[in-house]
């Protein structure tokens, strides 16, 4: 995945943007979609690097 090559700053910005998009597109909190899966993966990368988003 492309996110594995992000710098720390890029990764945090990407997580923040994905969260905004997910909340806008799925206001009901639907987690059964590729956007949410991508968000979870990038959150995992942030935790692995010790970053707060």
Report the pLDDT value the prediction gives residue 3, as an integer from 0 to 100: 82
Reported confidence tier of residue 1, pLDDT bands at 50, 70, 90: low
Question: Measured in Å, how far apart are the chain's first and last C-alpha atoms?
Answer: 19
**Whether the predicted pLDDT of 22 surpasses 70:** yes
Note if the pTM is more than 0.75.
yes
More confident residue, 20 or 1: 20
Q: How far apart are CA 26 and CA 10, in angstroms?
A: 24
Give the pLDDT mean for 2-23: 95
């Amino acid at each position: 995945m492309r996110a594995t090559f992000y710098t720390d700053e890029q990764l945090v910005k990407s997580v923040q943007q994905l969260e905004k998009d997910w909340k806008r597109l799925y206001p009901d909190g639907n987690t059964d979609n590729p956007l949410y899966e991508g968000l979870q993966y990038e959150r995992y990368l942030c935790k692995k690097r010790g970053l707060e988003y």
